[in-house]
């Protein structure tokens, strides 16, 4: 069989598995982050996938992963989007915290945290951004001061996705005065005394991200990941992985595109002009998908070139939302939570606003590309 036939056979197998899978009541495709209400069905679904060896596909085999080819990861993500199910409980634990712990964690940290992540027991949150430190992450002011047996944390984070349902947080905090070398990375139990989480409501009415306050939170020495002062390096690895994961979301756009085409057909709008714009967008999505596959297959997942994918994916996502708005006309005003054919598109259009901000804004990706890939002056 050729590679393509192999992949198509794999796709058919996964599609049939997902069609016949037992879906927990209340399961929906909630995207990378579950709301509080999604955690129950999302966890049950994750466990079902784990039983069938379909989680942590990119993790090394020794930690329960499958060291899977990019083709398998893409097909799985693609088929999950098609089936309208999430591919895992949430992205922070599996796609960010897991790889960080595998690379920088001690044996004890790996033993304690990786298996519960793999099994979907623990939701994690990423505690990087602050009111005065988003794009300029080196401006983090939340402080971790060394004490006799550990660290004392004071400060505030914001936009922390899933913090309201998380058991652990990946915390970037200031341990010294130097801008980059004064940062360290910690694991914070979210139920520790002094941690307060306040959910924020988004444009689509859901509440996925939060403000998090640290008021004299005590952490033990083994909460530190890597060494004191290594936080910036670890944060960059985490953000690199985040860009990579967000790039991979190109696959979930295909389903939305199909829904948009259907909405246009149902409204008798599919004239040559709209058809041409839709086809252009569709080809852009395929180009993105193949570029993502090629970039990962090249092996350097930390490459700044992933900024191209993050930039293009989020801007394409936005273009898709904008075109859906044109197709829907006044139906674009429906409640994104209702059960009309317009609702998933309205939801995607609203969420699409966030894509060019989260994981590093489009302007920051352009700066990275200009300076680190093209070698332009700062
Ligand atoms: C849906 C969503 C989920 C998120 N989840 C998390 C999470 O789980 N954990 C977490 O820590 N953070 C999270 N974030 C926060 C995200 O990482 C920040 O919003 C992002 O890094 C931008 O920071 P900021 O909001 O402080 O904007 P700012 O940095 O204040 O930027 C404001 C504007 O100025 C522009 N700008 C800033 N600096 C430059 C520059 N040097 N050159 C050119 N333009 C510039 C930006 O592009 C932007 O348009 C999330 C954000 C969103 C939208």
pLDDT, averaged across the chain: 91
Task: Write down the catalytic residue from 5, 115, 242, 258.
Answer: 242
The superfamily CATH assigns to domain 124-229 is Butyryl-CoA Dehydrogenase, subunit A, domain 2 (2.40.110.10)
Residue 328's pLDDT is 94
Mean pLDDT of 297-323: 82
**In the block, which residue shows the tokens 């429906």?**
334
Instruction: Note the pLDDT tens digit of each residue in 213-254.
Output: 999 999 999 999 999 999 999 999 888 878 777 656 666 788
Please indicate whether residue 40, judged by its CB atom, sits closer than 6 Å to ligand 1.
no
**What is the per-residue DSSP string for 319-330?**
HHHHHHHHHHGG
**Mean pLDDT to the nearest integer, 296-310:** 75
CA-proximal residue: ligand 1, atom 31 (nearest): 135
Indicate if the pLDDT at residue 4 is higher than 60.
no
Pick the CATH number of 234-373 from 1.10.1200.10, 3.40.50.2300, 3.90.180.10, 1.20.140.10: 1.20.140.10
Q: What is the CATH number of domain 3-118?
A: 1.10.540.10
**pLDDT for the residue 298:** 75
pLDDT of residue 1: 41
Residues 281-293: what's their mean pLDDT? 86
Q: Give the per-residue pLDDT at 8.
A: 83
Is ligand 1 within 6 A of the CB of residue 134?
yes
Q: Looking at ligand 1, which residue's alpha carbon is closest to its atom 38?
A: 135
Weakest-pLDDT range from 8-22, 39-53, 102-116: 8-22
**Lookup: tokens for 339:** 């059960």
> What are the sequence ranges of the domains in the chain?
3-118, 124-229, 234-373
Instruction: Encode burial over 328-357: b for 16+ CB neighbours within 10 A, e otherwise.
Output: beebbebebeeeeebbbbbbbbbbbebbbe
pLDDT-derived band of residue 369, with 50, 70 and 90 as boundaries?
very high
Q: What percent of the chain has pLDDT over 70?
A: 96
Helix (H, G, I), strand (E, B) or coil at 157: strand
DSSP annotation of 344: H
φ, ψ for residue 160 (rounded to 5)? -80, 105
Confidence category of residue 81, pLDDT binned at 50, 70, 90: confident
pLDDT the model gives residue 247: 59
Q: What is the pLDDT of residue 217?
A: 98
Judged on CB neighbours under 10 Å (0-12, 13-18, 19+), 136 is exposed
Specify the pLDDT at position 3. 53
Per-residue confidence (pLDDT) for residue 220, from 0 to 100 = 97
User: 242 catalytic, yes or no?
Assistant: yes
pLDDT for position 299:
65
Mean pLDDT in residue range 327-347: 89
Q: Work out the burial of residue 301: count CB atoms within 10 Å of its CB; fewer than 13 is exposed, 13-18 middle, 19 or more buried.
A: middle
Among 100, 126, 357, which residue has the most ligand 1 atoms within 8 Å of its CB, making it the best to mutate?
357
Nearest-atom index, ligand 1, CA of 163: 8
- CA end-to-end distance (rounded Å), the chain: 50
Mutate to test the pocket of ligand 1, among 30, 125, 132, 134 (most ligand atoms within 8 A of CB): 134
303 band by pLDDT with thresholds 50, 70 and 90: confident
pLDDT of residue 378: 87
* C-beta separation of 100 from 234 below 8 A: yes
pLDDT tens digits for 28-60? 989 889 999 999 999 999 999 999 999 999 899
The H-assigned helical ranges of the chain are: 3-20, 36-51, 70-83, 91, 98-104, 107-118, 231-248, 253-266, 272-297, 306-328, 343-355, 362-368
Q: How far is it, in rounded angstroms, from Cα 178 to Cα 195?
A: 26
Q: What does the pLDDT read at residue 31? A: 87
Angular region, 10: left φ>0, alpha ψ -120 to 50, beta rest: alpha
Ligand 1 contact, 364 CB (< 6 A)? yes
Q: How does pLDDT run across 128-179, given as a tens digit for each residue? A: 999 999 999 999 999 999 999 999 999 999 999 999 999 999 999 999 999 9
Atom 3 (ligand 1) nearest CA: 358
For the segment 248-275, the average pLDDT, to the nearest whole number, is: 87
């Amino acid at each position: 069989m050729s590679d393509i036939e192999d992949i198509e056979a794999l796709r058919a197998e996964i599609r049939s598995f997902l069609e016949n899978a037992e879906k927990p009541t209340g399961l929906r495709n909630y995207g990378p982050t579950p709301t509080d209400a999604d955690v129950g069905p999302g966890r049950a679904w994750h466990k079902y996938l784990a039983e069938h060896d379909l989680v942590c596909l990119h993790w090394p085999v020794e930690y329960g992963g499958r060291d899977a080819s990019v083709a398998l990861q893409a097909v799985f993500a693609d088929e999950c989007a098609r089936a309208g199910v999430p591919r895992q409980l949430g992205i922070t634990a599996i796609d960010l915290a897991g790889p960080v712990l595998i690379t920088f964690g001690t044996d004890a940290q790996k033993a304690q945290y990786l298996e519960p992540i793999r099994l979907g027991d623990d939701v994690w949150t990423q505690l990087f951004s602050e009111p005065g430190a988003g794009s300029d992450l080196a401006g983090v002011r939340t402080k971790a001061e060394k004490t006799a047996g550990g660290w004392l944390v004071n400060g505030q984070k914001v936009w922390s996705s899933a913090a309201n349902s998380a058991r652990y947080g990946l915390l970037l905090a200031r341990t010294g005065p130097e801008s980059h070398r004064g940062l360290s990375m910690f694991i914070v139990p979210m139920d520790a005394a002094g941690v307060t989480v306040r959910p924020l409501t988004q444009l689509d009415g859901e509440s996925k991200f939060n403000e998090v306050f640290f008021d004299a939170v005590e952490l033990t020495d083994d909460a530190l990941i890597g060494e004191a002062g290594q936080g910036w390096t670890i944060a960059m690895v985490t953000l690199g992985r985040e860009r990579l994961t967000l790039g991979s979301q190109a696959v979930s756009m295909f389903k939305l595109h199909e829904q948009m085409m259907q909405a246009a057909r149902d409204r008798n709008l599919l004239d040559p002009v709209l058809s041409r714009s839709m086809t252009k967008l569709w080809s852009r999505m395929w180009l993105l998908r193949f570029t993502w596959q090629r970039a990962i297959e090249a092996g350097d997942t930390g490459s700044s070139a992933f900024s191209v994918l993050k930039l293009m994916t989020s801007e394409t996502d936005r273009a898709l939302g904008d075109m859906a708005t044109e197709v829907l006309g006044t139906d674009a005003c429906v409640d994104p939570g209702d059960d009309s054919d317009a609702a998933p598109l309205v939801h995607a259009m609203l969420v699409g606003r966030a894509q060019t901000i989260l994981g590093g804004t489009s302007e920051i990706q352009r700066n990275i590309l200009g300076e680190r890939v093209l070698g332009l002056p700062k």
